[in-house]
Amino acid sequence: MLAVVPPPVTVRVPAKVNLHLSVGDAREDGYHELTTIFQALSLTDEVTVAVSEEPGVEVHGEGEKSVPTGPENLAWRAVCALAEYAERPADADGIRVVLRKGIPVAGGMAGGSADAAATLLGLSTLWRLDLARDELAGIAATLGSDVPFALYGGTALGTGRGEQLVPVLSRHTFHWVLAFDQRGLSTPKVFGELDRLREAGDPPRVGSHAPVVEALASGDPRQLALLLGNDLQAAAVSLRPGLRRTLRAGVNAGALAGTVSGSGPTCAFLCTGAESALEVAAELSGAGVCRTVRVAHGPVPGARLVGGDDTP
Ligand code: ATP
């Protein structure tokens, strides 16, 4: 009798921006305690998971050439982690993952983490594992600190290494313009540069996250704009001095405020509304300070099945 091959499953998954990112001092083990507020944005990757005689990872789109397709790809690591969890490691050899990237690679927007989250949801659906999102989040946390957030989306406070999440109420939709840089920045290098800057002096540190939570609840972009802050910004700018010019250009183009997203180099500009975001994007495109400009809004939901039931 012929085995029935399940149809491919496609998942859409959002990028994140950090509205607030406070980085503790390096611990003995080299890690930093983080307090961060993530927002999921309408800039997405699409991940298709299928049973195939040609297992592996295939990448298309934004930055495809700089994404590894071997076992180090985070999406493939997600396949292996789920196979182990579900005690079906042999089945992983029959899986193909196709990534369609809209999220810039090494852009500080957690694109690789998003792909891992999408793969967990897609593969658990393909294999009919019937896992709750919280159970998937447990596996996600073993893959990287930004992976659980990509499953849940919305707006959330992250602590620990960013993986312990509490949802944050965010009223209304916020409108963003994103400026992608020519090349990515390595996250470990940016943390290393922050450690170096802190040994040499006293780079600025963001305050408490509490006012950011209040601004999100108020839904007022002007209030939120005053509070955007990222301890990694000084380090990202130190490694990529041109970002200073990009940040200035966004504000000159009419954004309320700009911030480096996560470890950079993507810059995120908060705007008063959708129309203003389009105007800022048009002007920033012509300023010659970045590779590509995109508009996006947030918060949006986390990883979701495309065209199907998505309630694990
Ligand atoms: P972070 O989560 O640290 O903010 P980032 O958003 O800056 O990460 P990613 O796009 O996640 O950066 O990629 C970081 C590195 O991870 C890339 O340079 C790439 O070599 C590797 N990588 C592994 N898997 C993937 C993937 N599925 N998509 C993109 N990059 C990947």
Decide: 187 in ligand 1 pocket, CB within 6 A.
Answer: yes
Please give the model's pTM, rounded to 2 decimal places. Answer: 0.95
Residues ≥6 apart with Cβ < 8 Å to 139: 78, 81, 82, 85, 120
Distance CA 63, CA 53 (A): 26
| DSSP 8-state class, residue 209 | S
What would the two tokens of residue 245 be? 């010019």
Q: Considering the chain, tell me which residue range(s) the CATH 3.30.230.10 domain(s) occupy.
A: 9-168
| Dihedral over Cα of 312, 144, 73, 241: its sign | positive
In this prediction, residue 308 has a pLDDT band, given cuts at 50, 70 and 90, of low
Closest CA to ligand 1's atom 2: 110
The helix (H) or strand (E) run that includes residue 175 is: strand 174-180
Share of the chain above pLDDT 90, in %: 88
Distance CA 271, CA 257 (A): 8
- Alpha helices by DSSP H, listed for 3-94, are 74-85
pLDDT digits (tens, 9 = 90+) for 30-62: 789 999 999 999 999 999 999 999 999 999 998
Q: Considering the chain, tell me which residue range(s) the CATH 3.30.70.890 domain(s) occupy.
A: 174-298
Cα 214 to ligand 1 centre (Å)? 31
Closest CA to ligand 1's atom 30: 112
In this prediction, residue 3 has a pLDDT band, given cuts at 50, 70 and 90, of confident
pLDDT digits (tens, 9 = 90+) for 63-86: 999 999 999 999 999 999 999 999
Weakest-pLDDT range from 2-6, 99-103, 168-172: 2-6
Cα 109 to ligand 1 centre (Å)? 9
Omega of the bond prior to 299 within 30 degrees of 0, cis?
A: yes
Query: Can 65 be counted among the known catalytic residues?
Result: no
For residue 311, pLDDT over 50 is answered with: no
In this structure, whether the domain defined by 9-168 belongs to CATH 3.30.230.10 is answered with yes
Which of the listed residues 99, 183, 187, 194 should we mutate to test ligand 1's pocket, taking the one with most ligand atoms within 8 A of CB? 187
ipTM of this predicted structure: 0.94
* Among the four given CATH numbers 3.40.50.10470, 3.30.70.890, 3.50.50.60, 3.40.50.2300, the one describing domain 174-298: 3.30.70.890
The three-class DSSP label of residue 260 is strand
Atom of ligand 1 at shortest distance to CA of 72? 23
